[in-house]
Amino acid sequence: MLGRTVVIDEGIIMPLSPQQARVCAANTIDFSGLSALFINTSLKRSSGDSHTRLLLGVAGDMMQRAGVVVEHIHMLDHIIPPGVQPDMKEHGWDRDDWPKLWDKVRAADILVIGTPIWLGEESSVCRVLIERLYGMSGLLNDKGQSIYYGKVAGSVVTGNEDGIKHAAMTISYALSHLGYTIPPQADCGWIGEAGPGPSYGDESDDGTRAGFDNDFTQRNTTIMTWNLMHLARMLKALGGYDNHGNDRNAWKAGCHFGFENPDYRS
């Protein structure tokens, strides 16, 4: 059974490389039953202008071919204020689309965050996303574990010259701290040589697109994608983590109320 793509933004699409297509075609493992959410924290108002979206699309396409239900979200298509509360409408903001997005995050087995690099770091939009995810960390599942237990996460980072690892480090640490499991080599990206230059997918005079022929970007994107699926499938099959030793309800002393840190609210 093939995955169903719930939402795919319009715009240019980067095709799978022949090798990626072959890996997908040769797959015999059943990943149906898994769902993946890709959130692009590009600074571009419109998804179609985002370079990062191209590489997110490659990962999403491979997952879909493997039977995973895939959805892409462009953060700036939504009005999501900064903050660490579940609904910022209760804290002075007129509108907050986060609760709608949260339903999707909560439902997805796999989360992939995409970010551009500016001044060597992830975008401000990416940090808003991390704040809002953090804002839910007081929620526990029915085993008394963080609501994020049993889910897996990765990151896709593009820029024109420096910072993949710095941004990936920030994202994967935040998600791990919240309760996601991070599979091996769960980040990928593209940057060019030091100095100004094209962004990922920018067209040259000769019609080639920057980074599309970078074998290692494509290799790492492929490895990340499959490791996310393998690990999500294993964790789902096993029913997530046993709660011996990590049950926050059992750790009675942890129940302090009134502090601002989201993970201490519960």
In terms of CB distance, is 36 or 182 closer to its own copies? Answer: 182
Closest CA to 11 of 53, 40, 39, 60: 53
In whole angstroms, the minimum distance from the beta carbon of 129 to its own copies comes to: 8
In whole angstroms, the minimum distance from the beta carbon of 20 to its own copies comes to: 9
In whole angstroms, the minimum distance from the beta carbon of 193 to its own copies comes to: 5
Closest CA to 24 of 231, 236, 213, 218: 218
Closest CA to 178 of 199, 200, 153: 153
199 secondary structure, DSSP code: P
In terms of CB distance, is 71 or 122 closer to its own copies? Answer: 122
In terms of CB distance, is 139 or 223 closer to its own copies? Answer: 223
In whole angstroms, the minimum distance from the beta carbon of 133 to its own copies comes to: 9
In whole angstroms, the minimum distance from the beta carbon of 60 to its own copies comes to: 14
In terms of CB distance, is 8 or 23 closer to its own copies? Answer: 23
Give the count of alpha carbons within 13 A of 232, CB side only: 32
In terms of CB distance, is 38 or 226 closer to its own copies? Answer: 226
In terms of CB distance, is 104 or 127 closer to its own copies? Answer: 127
Which H or E run contains 155? strand 152-158
In whole angstroms, the minimum distance from the beta carbon of 66 to its own copies comes to: 9
Q: What b/e string do you get for 115-125 counting C-beta neighbours within 10 Å, with b at 16 or more?
A: bbbeeebbbeb
Provide the 10 A C-beta neighbour count for residue 162: 15
Cβ contacts of residue 150 below 8 Å, gap of 6+?
A: 109, 141, 181, 235, 236, 239, 240, 241
In terms of CB distance, is 69 or 175 closer to its own copies? Answer: 175
Contact 197, 158 (CB under 8 A): no
Contact 189, 223 (CB under 8 A): no
In whole angstroms, the minimum distance from the beta carbon of 103 to its own copies comes to: 21
Contact 76, 44 (CB under 8 A): yes
In terms of CB distance, is 35 or 170 closer to its own copies? Answer: 170
In whole angstroms, the minimum distance from the beta carbon of 46 to its own copies comes to: 7
Residue 259 to residue 146: CA distance in whole angstroms: 17
Give the count of alpha carbons within 13 A of 244, CB side only: 0
